[in-house]
Amino acid sequence: MTDTPATRPGTPPKTPEEHLFEDTKLHLFRRYAAERRFRLYGQIAIMVALGMLGVMLFTIVGNGWKGFLQTYVALDVYLDPAKIDPAGARDEAKLRNADYLPLIKDALDEAVPGVTERAERRLLTGFLRNNPTVPVRDFVLENPHLIGTTQRIWIATSDDIDVFAKGGYDRAMPEGDRRIKDIEIAWYDMLWNAGRIEVRFSDVLFSAGDSREPENAGLLGAIMGSVFTLLVCLIITLPIGVLAAIYLEEFAPKNRISDFIEVNINNLAAVPSIVFGLLGLAIFLQFFGMPRSAPVVGGTVLALLVLPTIIISARAALKAVPPSIREAARGVGASELQVVTHHVLPLAMPGIMTGTIIGMAHALGETAPLLMIGMVAFIVNVPEGFTDSATVLPVQIFLWSDSPERAFVAKTSAAIMVLLGFLILMNLAAIMIRRRFERRW
């Protein structure tokens, strides 16, 4: 048996201090190793989270960039005065109600000659967007002096042609496995070679309301609905939330009643959002009879949702003001109200505004409570006020994601990108406000 150094002849035994030193070194080695493992676990967790976020963003952007583009075809339209304005009065009402469809069909026949069969002519007419007369009508209304001439007008194609132009259909697929026919592909190639096909930025996406046809569907109605809804939410939550926070933090006595109120405010911040939707449905719609699917109702429901968050953030901002500020104000004879309004509240305002912006960003992304009050309805017209029927961006995304048309896949991802853009801007604004006005005590 081999002797250890401690038992080898001639080796002096270790003192208690040496044993303690070795035990301490072993303990420190294990502790540092545990800390290194903990940091490694944290780094792995962050990398996994960033990887999942990257995959999500890559998927959204990969599908969404196509939603910002639209395929257009150029037609040389003869603005026949005999069909548009036979009287020659150039009256705007008559020009608006004129029948432009025969002019478009004639231009199509000229661009794609030799189509005589009824089924093929129906396919050729379906090559264009639903209601293709709108671009021609708008052009005539803007340029009435050009009536009687031939003008090249760009008209959006149908959603199937648009998907094909963006690579959504493989040419090698059998004709029965895709929505676009071989003859339509031949027409597309002929128009492309003639320089009559272009894929451009889709102005419809930000200038039109919702539509059953993907090529005509836009986000303007949902954006305006979100703006009106958030304005109502902000008007309600900011004064009520700040006043409630001031009272609870500065004036309310510390007793069981105030403790009960604080506990319930904290609990309300964790209540599922759909509960607030049920509350809005029962109180605002059924009891008070407020208009269904209106921003005034949606903003009120969202105000109930984000009010606890704003109260909590405002109280935290007020609590962060050093007590010496209050004592100094009282020392010069200021009343309790003057202490709060003249000294504490201005110093806490950056934190309050930061919490308010984050609360508004939370409200912007909510869907469930708005579904309960009817803001899931199909709204074509762009809302012009707080009581008009409207929808919001998250609900519009929900509606488009449930649509069967393939072109709505890109539209849905594009709408998600727009919503994420608004959320990122609001959070950046909160960060900038905090860094610009924050004071370190």
45: pLDDT strictly greater than 90: yes
My answer on whether 380 and 253 are in the same domain is yes
Calculate ∠ Cα 283-284-289, nearest 5°.
110
My answer on whether 225 and 165 are in the same domain is no
CA-closest candidate to residue 248, choices 328, 334, 340, 331: 340
Average pLDDT over residues 95-118: 91
7: pLDDT strictly greater than 70: no
Q: Say whether 155 sits in a helix, a strand or coil.
A: strand
Q: What is the pLDDT of residue 22?
A: 76
**427 C-beta neighbours (distance < 10 Å), count:** 14
CA torsion, ordered 324, 325, 329, 332, to nearest 10 deg = 50
Structure tokens that stand for 350 in this block? 């950056």
My answer on whether 265 and 346 are in the same domain is yes
My answer on whether 394 and 254 are in the same domain is yes
My answer on whether 357 and 310 are in the same domain is yes
Q: Say whether 248 sits in a helix, a strand or coil.
A: helix
Run of H or E residues at 154: strand 150-156
Residue 429's CATH number: 1.10.3720.10
Structure tokens that stand for 297 in this block? 């109702």
List C-alpha distances in Å: 313 to 263, 271, 308, 356.
15, 17, 9, 8
Q: What is the pLDDT of residue 429?
A: 86
- The answer to whether residue 333 is domain-embedded is yes
Give the structural domain span for 249: 220-437
Residues in CB range of 397: below 8 A, 6 or more apart: 412, 415, 416, 419
My answer on whether 162 and 291 are in the same domain is no
Average pLDDT over residues 325-344: 90
4: pLDDT strictly greater than 80: no
Structure tokens that stand for 385 in this block? 């006020």
My answer on whether 279 and 386 are in the same domain is yes
My answer on whether 175 and 271 are in the same domain is no
Q: Quote the CA–CA distance of 268 and 189 in Å, as a whole number.
A: 60
Type of residue at 135 = P
Q: What is the pLDDT of residue 430?
A: 84
Please report where in the chains the tokens 């569907």 appear, as a residue.
217
Structure tokens that stand for 284 in this block? 């605002």
Structure tokens that stand for 404 in this block? 């069967």
Q: What is the pLDDT of residue 3?
A: 47
pLDDT class of 2 with cuts at 50, 70, 90: very low
- The answer to whether residue 373 is domain-embedded is yes
- The answer to whether residue 148 is domain-embedded is yes
Q: Quote the CA–CA distance of 256 and 265 in Å, as a whole number.
A: 14
- The answer to whether residue 37 is domain-embedded is no
- The answer to whether residue 238 is domain-embedded is yes
Q: Which of 200, 231, 260 is the last residue of a domain?
A: 200
Structure tokens that stand for 440 in this block? 């370190």
Q: What is the pLDDT of residues 271-328, one digit of tens each?
A: 888 899 999 989 998 888 888 889 999 999 999 999 999 999 999 999 989 999 999 9
Q: What is the pLDDT of residues 382-428, one digit of tens each?
A: 899 999 989 999 999 999 988 888 889 899 999 999 999 999 998 88
- The answer to whether residue 63 is domain-embedded is no
Average pLDDT over residues 67-73: 92
In the chain, pLDDT over 90 holds for what percent of residues?
Answer: 47
pLDDT class of 379 with cuts at 50, 70, 90: confident
pLDDT class of 440 with cuts at 50, 70, 90: low
My answer on whether 188 and 233 are in the same domain is no
Q: What is the pLDDT of residues 122-171, one digit of tens each?
A: 899 889 988 899 999 999 999 999 999 999 999 999 999 999 998 888 88
- The answer to whether residue 20 is domain-embedded is no
Q: Quote the CA–CA distance of 13 and 369 in Å, as a whole number.
A: 76
My answer on whether 353 and 412 are in the same domain is yes
Q: Which of 168, 200, 232 is the last residue of a domain?
A: 200
Q: What are φ and ψ of residue 129, in 5° steps?
A: -60, 160
**Predicted model pTM:** 0.84
What is the overall mean pLDDT for the chain?
Answer: 88
Q: Count up the domains in the chain and report the number.
A: 2
- The answer to whether residue 69 is domain-embedded is no
**437 C-beta neighbours (distance < 10 Å), count:** 14
Strand order through the sheet with 69-78: 150-156, 69-78, 197-201
Q: How far is CA 318 from the centre of its chain?
A: 31
My answer on whether 193 and 247 are in the same domain is no
Q: Which of 200, 235, 265 is the last residue of a domain?
A: 200
Q: What is the pLDDT of residue 149?
A: 93
Under DSSP, the state recorded for 293 is T
Type of residue at 61 = V
pLDDT class of 9 with cuts at 50, 70, 90: low
CA-closest candidate to residue 414, choices 223, 131, 228, 155: 223
Q: What sign results for the dihedral spanned by CA atoms 81, 85, 90, 96?
A: negative
Q: What is the pLDDT of residue 291?
A: 87
My answer on whether 239 and 337 are in the same domain is yes
**69 C-beta neighbours (distance < 10 Å), count:** 18
Type of residue at 90 = R
